Amino acid sequence: MRSVFLFHIVAVACLMWGQPLPLVGQQVDFEREVAPLLEDRCCYCHGEEDQESNLRLDHRLGMLKGGDSGLAAVVPGKPEKSYLIEVVRHLDPGMEMPLDDEPLTEAEIVLLERWIRQGAIWPGQMDAVEQGETELWSFRPVQRPKVPENRTIHSHPVDAFLAEKLSETKLEFSVPADARTQLRRLSIVLTGLPPTPETTKEFIEKSAENSELAYSEMVETLLASPQFGERWAQHWLDVIRWAETNGSEANLYRKNAWIYRDYVIRSFNEDKPYDQFVREQIAGDTTGVGEALGFLVAGPHVPSATIGREPTAIRQARADRLNEVMQTIGASVMGVTVGCARCHNHKFDPITIRDYYAMTAAFEDIEFGSRHPEYSSDHPLQQRGSELVAELEARRDELKRFGGWEENWGAYRELHFRPIETQGVRIRFKAPSIFIDELEIFGPDEPQVNLALAKHGTKLTGYPEKGFETRNPVTRVNDGQYGTMVWRAKTEKDEEKPWVQFDLSDSKTISRLRISNNREYFYETDYLERKPNLPRYEFDLQILKSDGTWQPWVGTWAVNKKLAEQFPERQETLNEIQSLIGQLAEEGPRPSFVGRLVAPGDTYVLLRGSPENPRDKVAPAGPVMLGGKLDLPEDSTGPQRRLAIAQWLGNVEHPLTARVMVNRIWHHVFGQGLVSTTSDFGNAGALPTHPALLDWLAAEFMQPTEIQGQPWSTKSMLRLLVHSRAFRQSSQPNERGNRLDADSKWLWRFPPKRVEAEVIRDSILQASGNLDLRVGGRSYRIHNVKKTYAQWELVDNHGPETWRRMIYQERMRRVDDGMFTAFDFPDCGQVRAKRPVSTTPLQALNLMNSDFVMEQSRLIAERAQRESEGKSEQALARCFELLLGRKPTPREQESCSTLLRDGELNLICRAIINSNEFAFLP
């Protein structure tokens, strides 16, 4: 805008000098006037030789396209929108052009402006258009290739593709692994748990009869087990760096964020089609799976208290939060580092800064915070909630005959009383000091409608009206806003006590009153020493009679104290109600940190990523080169925008979505993706080792022909891969393979690798017989309850409360769990497309000396003894079976003999837990 303004000043200045305005109407001669200027002053850096900032000013198309900044250097007809003018006028600090040279003269600049205003006519180049295609392989449509001809030998299509490459590199598949190895590998890959000794025994017997059948049946069993979803959810959560704390200084706990984790587990277990899985995580609020939006707010964020009060910092923080959303989607679904286009056009990939901001426009209604997720009636949480509410209602019915009662809902208290029709309600508090963020009144007819709300026409009066220090007015109790904006009333000793009065718009039946003092805080976080307290305010409630007088109707003293004395039998039901409320908060729908929805604002391209430099307004869309245009109305709502972009991502025409997911699945099956950079399919990432195979798998994923099953089925894809010879072959190295392909990227053997932290922990617990396989629910805690700005401290990472699968361990950003952080367990600060596998002495120390391992070693030994009737040789064998799925070899027996003789079976277990065999996927 500033440049327009200046343009006018120049024009006025020219008039004042008494010259005719320089020939606005007269056509600029490009060849004679403009070309020499460009050549002389610009093309040295932005021409054929050099293209600083990827900008070319030696042809018209380059001008229209602009450089890295993403701004068009020239917008024909609009000098005020042309970045070229801005930089030569030195209006953009830090970008004064020509660089390190004399500025252009005023006359030269005015000439350029005139030329642009007249349409930037460049004879001979007016028809040049941008090629709408990209060379980047992954942006091109998936083409289903033919399966190679060698299928007579390799009946499995995956093997056929792989064998082709193997023969090119003069390699071949290894022999099949033995049944025990195949089972252990299959079980860990699919469920994250090794097989039990019983399963192993049964499988080996069956395999001896019919190995193919035994294997297929085992695949089905494992895919159908609830542990499957837990394993594969873990992979997904890694990529999006999901955690249950905010990160940053206070690193506050995100209350009930875990319901998103459960959603992911459920989705994998139900084999939800992947396109639907993506759609729900972006727009699940529109289809009754509101908790799926936890995906969008999976990344870290800095809460407002630590951002500070400077407006620029506040704007920057919002841009940072949206960037976290972009990174999540880019890394997980798209396999594109979209975040790289935040400040300038992507350096490597065909993503412009405009694309970046157009994408953020689709997520403008997302904020980091809590809400009540939207659930369809058949949602498991909703169903469980309905059951519990029905039980709750039954108990309430029992209580009604005694009169009123009070319920504690954590965030608020609710006073229930005999229904009464009235047009006025007055509440007189007995304490001199009151904090209330909201006070709600409900009736039996429409139990969800807050009759007290100002926007329903209810008039409010109260005392003290303006509140403490006249800054905390009473109007806050019925403004519909929860949080720190409270009515704070403080009265002196001999003064009138606080009261509020609601004049309803017309006569209504009322039966319930709800009161709270900071519901938002209660909903958003937990495990803090200083929680929002929910004081028990004593008050009386009066109703306005038709004759205009006030009648005492109910009060806290009456329902709690008086009725309790009168009807002690009430207490049991009250306790049941409280317990049902507790259950509902665990098992039913509840406010959860899965994102808050706000009114979407306008989105602008931010020059150099700075919120202080907004430029063109952009409409929601995916990147242009990915066909991301969304046909949305001008005034589209937030959910409409997200749904549109989700549908675009899940479209079978989208070149990335399927490729990225099948590659991710491949990565977790074979240890290395066909594209080894699993979240970067761009020019800076790796090329696929087997491009045809990747495309065939992607095509098959979206539109299955070869494999049985629905489109986008993760389980079908896995079923296909684990049946391949490549997966079932031995992992033994051989000289030739090592020499020609030490990384095993051509899969001449199955590449062994150290298993993840979770597999180690879960396997140990399974061996001791103590692994609690309950699926879902609140995470088990290993940390303290802390002060707001304190660091989390480890309290107990090994006690019986923690004996669940590790996916249920509370996942805290940048907090060391004292055990498995050393095993490359991610800190959840940055996207972790795949975990490094490193080896450190801290791993050794943790696995040798931790309380967890010491305790579990003892428990495994005790179990082994129990299950072998005191025979020490058998007990030893049992330890090997429980931990390694096999009996000891004679040499191992001999190695263990001294320890066994001395009754130190627990130390044998400790050694096995630390052994390489235990830690490696065979």
Report 781-800 residues binding another protein (CB under 8 A).
786-787, 789-791
Q: Does 358 bind another protein (CB under 8 A)?
A: no
**DSSP of 548-585:** S-EEEEEEHHIIIIIHHHH-TTHHHHHHHHHHHHHHHH
Which helix (H) or strand (E) segment holds residue 179: the answer is helix 179-191
Rule CB under 8 A: is residue 100 a binding residue for another protein? no
892 binds another protein (CB under 8 A): yes
Residue in 79, 247, 369, 473 binding another protein, rule: CB under 8 A: 247
Contact pick of 165, 206, 318, 347 for another protein (by CB under 8 A): 347
Instruction: Identify the CA nearest to 58 among candidates 74, 71, 69, 70.
Output: 74
Positions 271 through 300 that interact with another protein (CB under 8 A)? 300
Answer yes or no whether residue 121 interacts with another protein by CB under 8 A: no
What is the CA 316 to chain-centroid distance, rounded? 21
Stretch that binds another protein, among 2-10, 601-609, 702-710, 816-824 (CB under 8 A): 816-824
Selected binder of another protein within 84, 425, 822, 876 (CB under 8 A): 822
Choice between 642 and 910, CB closer to another protein: 910
User: At its nearest, how many Å lie between another protein and the CB of residue 48?
Assistant: 19
Is residue 753 near another protein by the rule CB under 8 A? Answer: yes
The single residue among 307, 431, 485, 785 that binds another protein, judged by CB under 8 A, is 307
Rounded distance between C-alpha atoms, residue 732 and residue 617, angstroms = 59
Phi first, then psi: give them for residue 219, nearest 5 degrees.
Answer: -55, -45
Q: Where does residue 409 rank: exposed (0-12), middle (13-18), buried (19+ CB within 10 A)? A: middle
Closer by beta carbon to another protein, 118 or else 248: 248
CA atoms in the 13 A half-sphere facing the CB of 809: 28
From the list 74-82, 432-440, 588-596, 892-900, the region that binds another protein by CB under 8 A is 892-900
| C-beta of 512 vs 786, nearer to another protein | 786
| Nearest alpha-carbon partner for 861 in 847, 887, 881, 891 | 881
> CA–CA distance from 810 to each of 372, 778, 818 (Å)?
21, 8, 13
Interface residue with another protein among 850, 868, 872, 874 (CB under 8 A) is 850
- 323 Cβ contact partners less than 8 Å away, ≥ 6 residues apart: 339, 342, 360
* Residue 404 near another protein by CB under 8 A: no
Verify binding: residue 679, another protein, rule CB under 8 A.
Answer: yes
Say how many Å lie between the first and final Cα of the chain, rounded: 65
Beta-carbon contacts of 640 under 8 Å, excluding residues fewer than 6 positions away, are 632, 633
Return the range that interacts with another protein (CB under 8 A); candidates 40-48, 302-310, 647-655, 798-806. 302-310
Indicate whether 137 belongs to the interface with another protein (CB under 8 A).
no
The interface with another protein within residues 324-343 (CB under 8 A) comprises: 331, 336-337, 340
Among 77, 141, 308, 419, binds another protein (CB under 8 A): 308
If binding is defined by CB under 8 A, does position 814 make contact with another protein? yes
Residues in the interface with another protein (CB under 8 A) total 102
CA–CA dist 763, 835 (Å, integer): 19
901 binds another protein, rule: CB under 8 A:
no
What six digits make up the tokens of 487? 């009515």
Binding span for another protein by CB under 8 A among 579-587, 630-638, 698-706, 824-832: 824-832
What single-letter amino acid sits at 314? I
Q: Is 248 in the site for another protein (CB under 8 A)?
A: yes
Q: How far apart are CA 813 and CA 300, in angstroms?
A: 8
Q: Is 859 a residue that touches another protein (CB under 8 A)?
A: no
Q: Measure Cα distances from 518 to 178, 181, 488, 524 in Å.
A: 61, 56, 12, 10
Please tell me whether residue 896 binds another protein under the rule CB under 8 A. Answer: yes
Regarding 680 and contact with another protein (CB under 8 A), the answer is yes
**846 forms part of the interface with another protein (CB under 8 A):** yes
Q: Which of residues 432-461 bind another protein (CB under 8 A)?
A: none
Among all chains, which residue has been given the structure tokens 């002389």?
40
Q: Where are the beta strands (DSSP E) in 725-779?
A: 753-754
Residues 6+ apart with CB under 8 A from 549: none
The answer to whether 249 contacts another protein (rule: CB under 8 A) is yes
Shortest separation between residue 854's beta carbon and another protein, angstroms: 5
- Give the nearest distance from C-beta 299 to another protein in angstroms: 9
Taking the CB of residue 724, how many other CB atoms lie within 10 A of it?
21
Tell me: does residue 752 bind another protein (CB under 8 A): yes
